[in-house]
Amino acid sequence: MADARPFHWEYQPVVEREALRVEGGRVLRGEVRISGSKNAALKLLAAATLTGERCRFENVPEIEDVRVMVETLQHLGVVVDHPAPNVYEVASGDVDWLFVPLEAAAKMRASFILLGPLLARFGRIIISNPGGDRIGRRPVNLHVDAMHALGAEVEYRYGYYYVRAPGRLRGTRISFPHVTVMGTENAVLAAALAQGRTVIQPAAQEPEVDDLIAFLQKMGAEVERTAPDRIEVEGRRRLRGADHTVMPDRIEAGTFVVAAAVTGGEVTLSNARAAHLPVFLDVLDSVGVELSCRSDSIFVRGAPTGSRAYRAARISTAPFPGLATDLQPPTAVLLTQADGTSELEETVFEDRLEWLADLGRMGANVEIVDDHHARISGPACLRAVEVEVGDLRAGASLVLAALAAEGTSTIRGAHHVRRGYENIERKFLELGASIGRVEEGTARTAG
């Protein structure tokens, strides 16, 4: 194992039996600073393994998924230091084990983003097929196809991919059958050290992909988005260490926009880029939420609860620049307060509407038509509930519904929420919400 300095983890380990208790009806007011993006930070940490030189990242969110990624890197023998809150330094000189275990993949699908960089740098990797989570099957066939296209040999045995690149990966054309965010990212990361040119099309257009490209360019990689849905890479033999500040989390920003809207509050989101939320903010504007946006802040004024001021909408999720599938759950909570019947279409994942049943238990008028379509009629008066969450975005959205509901809700499985939202209770408390973390068995709540 490389001389990994002791990793000082200020982060409070997640208590599996954690619950959040939310007393609804409070109007949120004030300012909230949006944290660094989970879905950018995880890929940036993985990209650092493309070089043996030190890389430094700022504005990394202190969340469970980052802790899991750091732990996975350390198990590989990568040195990861945490010199200050939200700051991580990565140096992957000599990696001991090119093995990403089931435990990492089971905890976090994003561990699969290690495939591209480790294969490109070291020529071989054994990596667990990541478990899906509660929003669909979540296969990784497109990632594997991309590695094949770059010249890798892949065997699949007992849940693990055994991937080798005899010699160096070779640049090629990678044509995905449909857009895949992490598939695009794995292909870019592998191509960065391949011999020759790689053209990826259609390439995902999510802002997190462009944040990764910006970091790779600082490392000396020749990576460029040459058309909205095309990325071209001229492989290099070696890349250098670089520093990077993680972009803001646009999904967290959307979550807090809805929190203000459904509590009739007035909230300013700082470190929030409206340009990353084009369709989402258009939808909220059409619903009747008052918004004013600057380059890196968003002001939201919600309509008083029960005022029937919000209008129903028809929404359909899509890859960027469409409405982010991760914002479908928060938007659904808003639509329970809209006057009329809204139509939801979820085009990205096959069962990301299931969670609406819990919203129905809170009094929302929800009809799940099929795996991809639902209707929500409003406005509905939401009532408190005790509920178990199974995935990150649905969990956060049930917190939003609880903030708008009458009474006190208990949301079990809150560790799912803390996987992806930094200090979410503290942020809501500072906006005037009544919310606390409750460990089952003790009545402790967050101060």
Q: Which residues pair with 270 in a beta bridge?
A: 33, 297
Minimum CB separation from ligand EPZ for residue 143, in Å? 5
Q: Are 124 and 163 in contact (CB under 8 A)?
A: yes
Q: Does 42 bind ligand EPZ (CB under 6 A)?
A: yes
Bond prior to 202 in cis (omega within 30° of 0): yes
Q: Does 250 bind ligand EPZ (CB under 6 A)?
A: no
Range list of H helices, 78-151: 102-107, 115-122, 141-149
What's the CA gap between 255 and 336, in Å, rounded?
15
- Kindly tell me which of 251 and 384 has the beta carbon lying closer to ligand EPZ: 251
- Kindly tell me which of 138 and 170 has the beta carbon lying closer to ligand EPZ: 138
Q: Does 183 bind ligand EPZ (CB under 6 A)?
A: yes
Q: Does 255 bind ligand EPZ (CB under 6 A)?
A: no
Contact window for ligand EPZ (CB under 6 A) among 4-12, 178-186, 234-242, 379-387: 178-186
H or E segment to which residue 411 belongs: strand 408-412
Count residues binding ligand EPZ (CB under 6 A). 22
- Kindly tell me which of 139 and 278 has the beta carbon lying closer to ligand EPZ: 139
Q: Does 304 bind ligand EPZ (CB under 6 A)?
A: no
* Nearest of 19, 24, 26, 25 to residue 410 by alpha carbon: 19
Ranges within 71-100 binding ligand EPZ (CB under 6 A): none
Contact window for ligand EPZ (CB under 6 A) among 181-189, 237-245, 332-340, 402-410: 181-189
Long-range CB pairs of 287-294, under 8 A, 24+ apart, other chains included: 287/261, 287/311, 287/312, 287/313, 287/334, 287/335, 287/338, 288/338, 289/257, 289/261, 289/334, 291/257
Q: Does 349 bind ligand EPZ (CB under 6 A)?
A: yes
How deeply is 35 buried, as exposed, middle or buried, from its count of CB atoms within 10 A (0-12, 13-18, 19+)? buried
Q: Does 278 bind ligand EPZ (CB under 6 A)?
A: no
Distances, alpha carbon 12 to alpha carbons 6, 18, 142, 415, in Å: 17, 12, 36, 12
What's the Rg (C-alpha) of the chain? Answer: 22
- Kindly tell me which of 79 and 359 has the beta carbon lying closer to ligand EPZ: 359
Minimum CB separation from ligand EPZ for residue 182, in Å? 3
- Kindly tell me which of 38 and 107 has the beta carbon lying closer to ligand EPZ: 38
Q: Which of 50, 76, 127, 140 binds ligand EPZ (CB under 6 A)?
A: 140
Q: Are 51 and 269 in contact (CB under 8 A)?
A: no
Minimum CB separation from ligand EPZ for residue 39, in Å? 4
* Nearest of 70, 57, 87, 104 to residue 211 by alpha carbon: 57
Q: Does 131 bind ligand EPZ (CB under 6 A)?
A: no
Q: Does 148 bind ligand EPZ (CB under 6 A)?
A: no
Site residues (vs ligand EPZ, CB under 6 A): 38-39, 42, 110, 136, 138-143, 180-183, 325-326, 348-349, 392-393, 420
